[in-house]
Structure 1
Amino acid sequence: MRQVNDMNSNRRQSTINSRRGLYLVLASICVIVAVLALVGCAGSGTSSAGGETTGAPSSDTATPSAGANSKMLIVYFSREGENYWNGGRRNLAVGNTQHVAQILQSLTGADVFRIRAADPYPDSYEDTVARNVQEQNSDARPAIADPLPDISGYDTVFLGSPVWNMQEPMIMRTFCENYDFSGKTVYPFATYAVSGAGRIPEDYAKYCRNATIGETLAIRGEEAEQSRPQVQDWLKDNGLAVR
C-alpha cells in the first residue's frame, strides 16, 4: 500500500515539475518576443532614446535657399536658332540666356521655370527681329505656353532674358504682370549684343508690382557660355548663396 502511495506521489511531483518547465518555456518565449519588438521599434521608428531623429531626412533639408528662411526661383526666356554673333550670325543649339540660367542654377540650387512662347519665335534672326518690333509697337503680351508657377513660396526671383531692341522681350511682361511681388527681391539678368542691360531694370521696376529690384547682371551673348566667374561674383556681391 505504501508502494502505491509512493508511486502516486511521484506521479504528482512529475506532473508539477512538467508544468513548471512549461511555464518557464512560455515565460522565456514572452521575454524573447518583447526584446525583438523593442529592437524592431528602435530600428524603424523616428526617434531613438537620445531624441535623435533617424530614417530618411525631411525634404525641407534639400530645399535650395539663399539663407535660413530663403528660397530662390530662376525664371528665364531664351531663344536658340540663328542669333547675332560678333557682327554676323550663328546658329545656336542652346540660347545665350539659357547658358547663364544653367550656370546660375548650378551655383545656387534654385528652382527653374523656363518661359516658352505659345507661338514659338522663328529660327530666323531677321524674322524674330521683325516680330519683336511689331510686338513692341503694339504693346503686345505674347502668350506663355506652360502654366505659370506659384511663386508665393519664393523671396528671391531671378528674371532672365535677352535684350531685344533695348528692352526685355514682351513675353517677359506677360509673366511679370501676372504676379504681386510683395516681399520679394527680383534680380534681373540679361544677355545682349551691344546695348548692355538696356531699359530692363527700369522696366522690371514698373512691371514687377511691389518688387524690390536688385542689381542687374548683363553679359554679352558671345560670352554667356563661359560666364561662370561673372555670375559667381555677382551672386557674392549681392550676398546670395553660392554652392
Structure 2
Amino acid sequence: MKILVVYYSYSGITRRLAEDIALITGGDLREIKPQKPYSFSYNTAVKEAREEIERGYCPPLIQGTESVEDADIIFIGSPNWLKTFAPPVLSFLKAVDLDGKTIIPFCTHGGGGFGRMIEDYKNECKNSIIKEGIALKGDYSFDELKNRLNSNM
C-alpha cells in the first residue's frame, strides 16, 4: 500500500506534522507551494487568505500537483484557516485526480479543530473515501500523533 503525505504550511507547524506523519507511516512527502507566497506579516496573510477563501480562489501552484496515481492513501494537510483548508490545498484538490483514493485529512490549529474542513473535503473529493482525519495543535507530542494515526489507518 503506497502512502503519500501532501501538505501546505504557512509557518512550518503543518510541515513538522506532515514530516512526522511521513516518518511514522513510511509515506512519501510532497509540499504544496503557491506561485505567490502569502505575506510574512501574519495579519496581512490572514486578510489575503480570507479574500481568497471567500472568493473560492485557487492560487496557481509551482509545486505539488504531480500525479498521485500510484498512491493508495493520501494524507492531505493544511493549517486551519478560517475554519477550512488553505487556498493552495483547494488548488491541489482541483488539479489532481483523487477518484477512488483514500484521503486522510490532517490539520494544525489553535483551538478550532477541523472547523468545516471535513465537509469541504467531502464536497471537493466526491469520489474518494474521506477518513476521520487528525487535527492537532502545534504543541502536539509524537506519541499523541502515533496514537491518532493508529486509530485512523
Q: What letter corresponds to residue 79 of structure 1 in structure 2?
A: Y
Report if aligned partners of 1:179, 1:209 keep a CA contact under 8 Å in 2: no
What's the offset of the Cα at 1:216?
1.5
The 5 A counterparts of 1:12-161 are 70-80=1-11, 95-146=12-63, 148-161=65-78
Correspondence for 1:219: 136
Q: Which runs of 5+ in 1 are unaligned?
A: 1-69, 81-94
Report if aligned partners of 2:19, 2:29 keep a CA contact under 8 Å in 1: no
Correspondence for 2:145: 231
Report if aligned partners of 1:180, 1:208 keep a CA contact under 8 Å in 2: no
* SS of residue matched to 2:48: helix
Residues 100 and 187 (structure 1), Cα distance of their counterparts in 2 relative to 1, 3 Å cut:
same
Pair 1:185 & 2:116 matched: no
C-alpha RMSD of matched pairs (Å): 1.3
Higher Rg of the two aligned structures? 1
Pair 1:199 & 2:116 matched: yes
Question: Hey, which of these two has a bigger chunk of helix by percent?
Answer: 1
What's the offset of the Cα at 1:106?
1.0
Question: Hey, which of these two has a bigger chunk of strand by percent?
Answer: 2
Report if aligned partners of 1:180, 1:209 keep a CA contact under 8 Å in 2: no
Q: What letter corresponds to residue 9 of structure 2 in structure 1?
A: S
Where relative contact order (Cα < 8 A, 6+ residues apart) is larger, the structure is: 2
Moved over 4 A (4+): none
Q: Deviations over 1:15-38 (max 9, x none)?
A: xxxxxxxxxxxxxxxxxxxxxxxx
Q: Deviations over 1:193-221 (max 9, x none)?
A: 12111111111111124110011211112
Q: Distance in 2 between matches of 1:189 and 1:214?
A: 10
TM-score normalised by length of structure 1? 0.60
Identical positions, percent: 31
Equivalenced residues, count: 153
Q: Which runs of 5+ in 2 are unaligned?
A: none
Report if aligned partners of 2:99, 2:125 keep a CA contact under 8 Å in 1: no
Q: Distance in 2 between matches of 1:212 and 1:196?
A: 20
